[in-house]
Amino acid sequence: MTEPVTGAPYRADHVGSLLRPDSVKAARKAFYEDKSITAADLKKAEDAAIIDVIKMQEEIGLKAVTDGEFRRSFWHYDFMGGLSGFDLDERAEGVQFHGVKLRPIFPTITGKLDFPDDHPMIEHYKFVAANTKVQPKISIPGPSCCHFRTAPEDIAPAEYKDLDVLFADLAKTYAKAVKAFYAAGCRYLQMDDIFFAYLCDPKHREDKRKLGQDPDWLIERYAWMMNEAIKDRPADMKIGMHLCRGNFVSTYAAEGAYDLAADAIFNKTGIDIYFMEYDSERAGSLEPLKLLPKGNKRVLPGFITTKTPELESLDDLKRKFDEAGKYCDINQLGIAPQCGFSSTEEGNKITMDDQKKKLELVVKTAEAIWGGVDK
């Protein structure tokens, strides 16, 4: 195995998912729906598309690249479904987003949780690493997702009715995942815990209260879970975390500023790099950045949206960074799009060309403000 690239964090980066090309969409339909091709045929189509999208990211000037999550249907459920003790059930009606419902897939906890040695995303990472000249990155859902997205009635083991027991096992499961990715050569792992942001939304907070769960207690316990999962990682492994309010065909599921969770996010998770959605008024002000501790942690505010095709102006982005600099050291900042471009395989309502221009703008902004992507 060649020596891993270890340059993260970068001034320019992206969350992970990218729009699926027609070749991948056609192959996945042929395999999963039409049953007309083999798994090997599907992998061949995905491999070719991933090699192309890695090249696109490199040519734009990004120093960390992903597989675009081309082998997944969802940003989170595919990983969760690969855990021991987790199953995915298809039902009649999906999760409600703003004006649209998600496809009706529901996670269920059926047994003792664990990270299996043959989890498919280890191989997904290795493929990226074998086909890039820059730093390979993989994004997986953070441990809070396994609780937030699983209804209490879908948690079968009696011991997991005690959330402290559930959270302890989730932390152990994810600690094992971190160790496995490191052993595979991964030095830049992203664990997206978007539900910190959801728990700043009055509606989602009330939903948890109705389940008998204190949303502020959940914020603290979610931070504990993340920290437990990553605290023993080697010094040369960087961990990122994305926070947003939902992303499904350009819609959203939550709103509300980061204030209620900012202290836990910045000071109790142990995370190195934060991808924070900041493309609309739903995200609130930049003031929570004042809680970012001085040092090596880095925030990449998502001033560039993935939800609409209109391209932001460099001058506007510079002004936003001037504002952010009032709350934290500009040298602890970078730039990334607000979310993935395709959190589910359907993708947002933008074109491949729109996506490329947005990523080019990310790099251009980093060059204009800090003098380069890896400065």
Q: How far apart are the first and last CA of the chain?
A: 27
Whole-number pLDDT of residue 280: 66
253-to-152, 162, 280, 347 alpha-carbon distances in Å: 20, 27, 13, 16
Taken in order 165, 168, 174, 177, is the CA torsion positive or negative?
A: negative
81-to-76, 131, 334, 364 alpha-carbon distances in Å: 9, 26, 33, 38
- Beta carbons of 15 and 335 less than 8 angstroms apart: no
- Beta carbons of 85 and 141 less than 8 angstroms apart: no
Nearest to 235 by CA among 321, 296, 149: 296
Contacts of residue 357, Cβ cutoff 8 Å, sequence gap at least 6:
311
- d(CA 142, CA 189) in angstroms, rounded, equals 11
Render 17-42 in DSSP notation, one character per residue.
Answer: --PPPHHHHHHHIIIIIS--S-HHHH
- d(CA 316, CA 321) in angstroms, rounded, equals 9
The single residue listed with the structure tokens 């995915």 is: 88
The single residue listed with the structure tokens 């000071």 is: 267
Backbone dihedral angles phi then psi of residue 106, each to the nearest 5 degrees: -130, 130
Residue 373 one-letter amino acid: V
Nearest to 15 by CA among 52, 66, 50, 60: 66
38 CB neighbour count, 10 Å cutoff:
11
Whole-number pLDDT of residue 355: 98
- d(CA 366, CA 115) in angstroms, rounded, equals 37
Domains of the chain with CATH codes: 22-370 (3.20.20.210)
Whole-number pLDDT of residue 347: 86
Strand partners, 73: none
113-to-81, 132, 265 alpha-carbon distances in Å: 11, 33, 25
- CB-based burial label for 356 (10 Å; 0-12, 13-18, 19+): middle
Nearest to 304 by CA among 262, 276, 326: 276
Whole-number pLDDT of residue 247: 59
The pTM for the full model equals 0.94
Sequential pLDDT tens for the chain (375 residues) = 567 888 999 999 999 999 999 999 999 999 998 999 999 999 999 999 999 999 999 999 999 999 999 999 999 999 999 999 999 988 766 555 444 445 678 899 999 999 999 999 999 999 999 999 999 999 999 999 999 999 999 999 999 999 999 999 999 999 999 999 999 999 999 999 999 999 999 999 999 999 999 999 999 999 999 999 999 999 999 999 999 886 565 555 567 889 999 999 999 999 999 999 998 687 789 999 999 999 999 999 999 999 999 999 999 999 999 999 999 999 999 999 999 999 889 988 999 999 999 999 999 999 999 999 999
Residue 150 one-letter amino acid: T
Nearest to 317 by CA among 364, 257, 262: 364
Whole-number pLDDT of residue 128: 98
Whole-number pLDDT of residue 97: 44
